[in-house]
Structure 1
Amino acid sequence: MLDVAGLESAYGDSQILFGIDFRVKEGEVVTLLGRNGMGKTTTVKSIFGLVKPRAGSVKINGQNLTGADPHRIALAGLGYVPEGRQVFPTLNVEENLRATARPGKWTLQRIYELFPRLEERRRNMGNQLSGGEQQMLAIGRALMTNPKLVVLDEATEGLAPLIRADIWACLERLKSEGEAILVIDKNVDALTKFADRHVVIEKGRVVWTGTTEQILATPDVKDRFLHV
């Protein structure tokens, strides 16, 4: 599905990634873990062509799309829920959902079934929504592209506990329906309840990777690489 190999990226003269390697298989949930500023978001932006890699490769279903423009990455089957949500502020909920929609199993009605609150607020503008509602909308918008893999950067950052629970329930449902997911979040305990594998990044390098069973059996991973 997604194969990232030897990925190196920089902002100007400041190199951020130093050979990132990981894979996401069809129907698999993989997490990117690490403290703030370690390169997780840069990894995602490099996958989506928002940052042009200096070296390495990004392959989607075997097609080399390293550094391709974001619309080509989307057409190849990746849906993006960016950090900060980035919903269209002057479009209403329904317009946001339809803006980048592609035919497939995820329809407007299915999004409203997944997030009933969005149907209630369908005529409200993006900038009239709460943070939690904007995150639901960002996820719904990504699903409306009918992707093969959904990528979420900071899935629940800054959200109230009840909204976080709604987002986790959403991701668990997506997994049960066979969606592949790559997710960044700081809530390791919640992630280990449904994720298959975990990739830990420290200073732009992969320093640990393993299954949920392995990370639960290796508590020093959290102590060494995840705690502030």
Structure 2
Amino acid sequence: MLSVEGLEAAYGHSRILFGIDLHVGEGECVTLLGRNGMGKTTTIKSIFGMLKPRAGRVTIGGTDLTGADPHKIAQAGLGLVPEGRQVFPTLTTEENLRATARPGKWTLDKVYELFPRLKERRRNMGTQLSGGEQQMLAIGRALMTNPRLVVLDEATEGLAPLIRADIWSCLTRLKSEGEAILVIDKNVDALTKFADRHVVVEKGRVVWTGTTADILATPEVKNRFLHV
């Protein structure tokens, strides 16, 4: 579905990524792990064309889209839940959802069934929602594009524990329905309950990859690369 090979990127003269390799198959859930400032969000920006790679290759469904404009990446089937949610503040909840809608299985009613709170708040402006509600809205907005792969950057950052649990439940359901997912988050214990594989980055390089069974059997990975 998504294949990233040898991805390199920089901000001006500051190199951030040094040959990232990452693959997500159909219906697979993969995590991108690492401490703050190690290149996770830069990887996402490079995949989505918000930062043009210096080198490497990004293919979606077998089509080379390296450095393509963000709208081309979206048209190819990638839906982004960005860091910081970035809901449209001057639109209502329902208008936020309709703004990105494309034909497919994910409809307004299905998003409301997944997140009943959004239906209750459908006439509220984006700025009137709590942080947890905004994250639900950001996920729903991405699903309304009917993507082949949903990418979540910092899925539960800054959210209360009960809201985090709701988001994990949502992602577990999406995976059970066959959605491909790439997720960045710091909560390794929660991620190992539903993710298939894990990719750990350190200073812009992939330093470890493995299955959930592998990471559970290798506690030194968390101790060395993920703990602050």
- Secondary structure of 1:172's aligned partner: helix
TM-score by length of 1: 1.00
Distance (whole Å) between structure 1 residues aligned to residue 140 and residue 100 of structure 2: 11
Q: Name the counterpart of 1:2.
A: 2
- Secondary structure of 2:57's aligned partner: strand
Q: Name the counterpart of 2:209.
A: 209
State the one-letter code of the partner of 1:102.
R
Q: Name the counterpart of 1:196.
A: 196
Q: Name the counterpart of 2:100.
A: 100
Distance (whole Å) between structure 2 residues aligned to residue 67 and residue 96 of structure 1: 27
TM-score by length of 2: 1.00
Offset at 1:80? 0.2
Identity %, equivalent residues: 85
Distance (whole Å) between structure 2 residues aligned to residue 28 and residue 169 of structure 1: 16
Shift >2 Å, 4+ stretches = none
- Secondary structure of 1:45's aligned partner: helix
Distance (whole Å) between structure 2 residues aligned to residue 224 and residue 159 of structure 1: 25
Offset at 1:143? 0.1
Q: Name the counterpart of 1:80.
A: 80
Render the CA deviation track for 1:77-103: whole Å, top value 9, x for unaligned.
000000000000000000000001100
State the one-letter code of the partner of 2:196.
D
- Secondary structure of 1:57's aligned partner: strand
Offset at 1:60? 0.1
Offset at 1:22? 1.3
Render the CA deviation track for 1:193-222: whole Å, top value 9, x for unaligned.
000000000000000000000000000000
Q: Name the counterpart of 1:54.
A: 54
CA RMSD of aligned residues (A): 0.3
Distance (whole Å) between structure 2 residues aligned to residue 39 and residue 22 of structure 1: 13
Offset at 1:70? 0.4
State the one-letter code of the partner of 2:51.
V
- Secondary structure of 1:159's aligned partner: coil
State the one-letter code of the partner of 1:18.
F
Offset at 1:117? 0.2
- Secondary structure of 1:156's aligned partner: coil
1:1-228 equivalent positions in 2, closer than 5 A: 1-228=1-228
Distance (whole Å) between structure 2 residues aligned to residue 100 and residue 54 of structure 1: 30
Aligned residues: 228
- Secondary structure of 1:127's aligned partner: helix
State the one-letter code of the partner of 1:35.
R
Distance (whole Å) between structure 1 residues aligned to residue 56 and residue 7 of structure 2: 4
State the one-letter code of the partner of 1:188.
V
Distance (whole Å) between structure 2 residues aligned to residue 130 and residue 57 of structure 1: 38
